Amino acid sequence: MIIESLQVEKYCAESNNFTLKINFKRILSIKQLTKIKEVEKSIELSSKCVLVRDTKLDTIIHFYREKNYCLVTNAGTINQGILSLENILGRIEDE
């Protein structure tokens, strides 16, 4: 498991959603980021950040180059945010 710790970056009471900052034990490799980019509903922004949308849980996960964390936005609950991330990481865990 690559996840080390989690903190709630923001909670919006009106729209009732969380932004989570999830720290990794290590920086994601280029190969892992490339795999993430191949996930359906993902885009790369200005070569700095890869965004992946989880359409089931309606979240967006922000992966950054050379950073040991990601942001999960628009999560209805903390658990949903973690689940969204785990779904994506599950696809690259052979690294």
Partner 1 sequence: MFLGKPNSHIILALDTESKAEAIKVLDQTHDLIDVIKFNYPLILKEGLSLISEIKQRYGLKILADFKVADVPVTNNRIVELVKKAGADAIMVHGFIGTDALLEIMNIANNEIGVIIVTELTHPGGLEFTRPYSIDFANICSLIDAYGIQAPGTRPDQINQLRNTIGEKKTIVSCGVGAQGGDFREVLNAGADFAIIGRAIYNAPNPREVVLNLRESVNV
Return residues touching partner 1 (CB under 8 A): 12, 14-15, 17, 19, 41-46, 51, 53, 58, 60, 62, 73-74
CB of 67 to partner 1, least distance (A): 17
Element (H, E) at 60: strand 59-64
The answer to whether 49 and 63 are in contact (CB under 8 A) is: yes
> Shortest distance, CB of residue 95 to partner 1, whole angstroms?
24
Nearer to partner 1, 15 or 66 (CB): 15
CB of 6 or CB of 76, closer to partner 1: 76
Q: Which positions ≥6 away from 73 have C-beta within 8 Å?
A: 17, 19, 59, 60, 61, 62
Smallest gap from Cβ 25 to partner 1, in A, equals: 25
Given a contact cutoff of 8 angstroms between Cβ atoms, the answer to whether 74 and 59 are in contact is yes
